[in-house]
Amino acid sequence: MRYWPNPAHKRQTTEAGPPGWRPGKEPCPDDMTMSERNELLASSVPVDATNPRSRRFNVRRSEHGLELYDGKWTQDVAEEPEFHGHPASYVPVSILRIFRDRGQITLAEYRRLVRNFGCP
């Protein structure tokens, strides 16, 4: 599994090339390193653990607060799934429960997020 940036979510040049950010897309934070992005993908939680191309989610704490990320399969490169990621606009409650149970989010954050996303 590997990460490759999607310029549509970037406001700066990355290894994928110049930014192609569009106002309709959630922009990625400018302060995240490639190493951090790789770690977020590697430790992300798949919606379907049996599918190597399953959509994935993770959480990050930064100086800006709690940030939730959505990883989406883009393509296979040399038989390895490649994903791009961006700030999440939706996180399934089942994934939020895993974050809560792992201690990645507090019970209060879990309750607030369930209300905000409200998705089964």
- Per-residue pLDDT for the chain (120 aa), expressed as one digit of tens each? 877 666 665 556 566 556 565 566 666 667 778 888 889 999 999 999 999 999 999 999 988 889 999 998 988 899 889 888 888 888 999 999 999 999 999 999 999 999 887 554
Q: Does residue 112 form part of some domain?
A: no
Total number of domains in the chain: 1
Which pLDDT score, from 0 to 100, does residue 110 have? 95
3 state SS of 60:
strand
Q: Does residue 80 form part of some domain?
A: yes
Q: What is the C-alpha to C-alpha distance for residues 100 and 22, in angstroms, rounded to an integer?
A: 32
Which candidate, 94, 27, 88, places its Cα nearest to that of 58? 88
C-alpha count within 13 angstroms, C-beta hemisphere, residue 67:
19
Q: Does residue 105 form part of some domain?
A: no
Q: Does residue 14 form part of some domain?
A: yes
Which pLDDT score, from 0 to 100, does residue 119 have? 52
Residue 10 belongs to domain spanning:
2-90
Buried b (16+ CB within 10 A) or exposed e, 80-96: ebbbbbbebeebeeebb
